[in-house]
């Protein structure tokens, strides 16, 4: 009779080597590194590391936007001001840690003496964590990274961006719409950039019955950075209360 944890094996079911022998034996092949059970362990490790790093962060707001925004772009300065205003209210700024809008928001927060967080992602052409981050992590998996944004943020400010920004925005709106998160005030900065998209959502998508009449109100579109920050801070105060 052979015991393998709670399992009892007899006769032909008894393995030829023990679990300890398998653990300590030399491995010629490394295929196991790319198998799903090992991948699950890496995913679990990312969650553990993320939770451990951010658990004591305090109130925070996520700032999303394009990595391609130049430093001379007015939106860069707007995002920098948003980061500064949040830091002045003792609210941490969480971005994707990259250049462009992300760098601007982190820069504003860091210069103001605030908590400037960058949650990066491993990509073939990623430039790494920007120098204005004072708490940074790099993730392998997008879905783990997005969980950190939502779990540790009370609100979001979204600047113009591409597919990545849209993905983050609609992921957030879906979680709110389906009541997976209680409340997440979301401000979009740049009326001329966002209005066409939300005219289509409030028109074609709503008229087709694919969203409710309440859903377009999940975001507030503005050109005023101070207004966007006020929207975000309403989420922080709501969570504090």
pLDDT digits (tens, 9 = 90+) for 68-114: 999 999 999 999 999 999 999 999 999 999 999 999 999 999 999 99
| Of 146, 124, 127, 150, residue with least CA distance to 67 | 127
Phi and psi, residue 53, nearest 5°:
-75, -35
CA distance 86 to 102: 14
Q: What is the mean pLDDT of residues 148-161?
A: 97
In the chain, the percentage of residues whose pLDDT exceeds 90 is 73
Give the other-Cβ count within 10 Å of 160's Cβ.
22
Q: What is the mean pLDDT of residues 149-165?
A: 96
Residues 121-144: tens digit of each pLDDT: 988 766 689 999 999 999 989 999
Stated pTM of the model = 0.85
- Whose tokens are 């960058």? That residue is 118
DSSP annotation string for 44-89: HHHHHHHHHHHTT--SEEEEE--TT--TTSHHHHHHHHHHHHHHHT
């Amino acid at each position: 009779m052979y015991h393998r944890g709670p399992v009892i094996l007899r006769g032909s079911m008894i393995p030829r080597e023990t679990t300890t022998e398998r653990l300590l034996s030399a491995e010629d092949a490394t295929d196991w590194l790319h198998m799903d059970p090992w991948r699950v362990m890496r995913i679990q490790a990312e969650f553990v590391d993320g939770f451990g790093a951010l658990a004591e962060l305090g109130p925070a707001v996520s700032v999303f936007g394009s990595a391609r925004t130049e430093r001379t772009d007015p939106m860069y300065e707007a995002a920098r001001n948003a980061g500064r205003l949040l830091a002045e209210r003792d609210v941490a700024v969480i971005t994707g840690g990259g250049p462009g809008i992300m760098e601007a928001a982190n820069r504003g927060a860091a210069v103001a003496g605030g908590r400037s967080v960058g949650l990066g992602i491993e990509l073939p052409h990623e430039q790494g964590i920007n120098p204005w981050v004072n708490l940074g992590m790099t993730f392998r998996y997008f879905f783990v990274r997005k969980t950190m944004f939502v779990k540790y943020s009370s609100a979001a400010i979204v600047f113009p961006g591409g597919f990545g920004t849209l993905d983050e925005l609609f992921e957030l709106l879906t979680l709110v719409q389906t009541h997976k998160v209680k409340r997440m005030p979301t401000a979009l900065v740049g009326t001329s950039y966002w209005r066409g998209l939300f005219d289509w959502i409030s028109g074609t998508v709503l008229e087709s019955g694919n969203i409710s009449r309440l859903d377009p109100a999940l975001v507030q579109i503005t050109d005023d950075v101070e207004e966007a920050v006020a929207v975000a801070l309403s989420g922080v105060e709501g969570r504090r209360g």
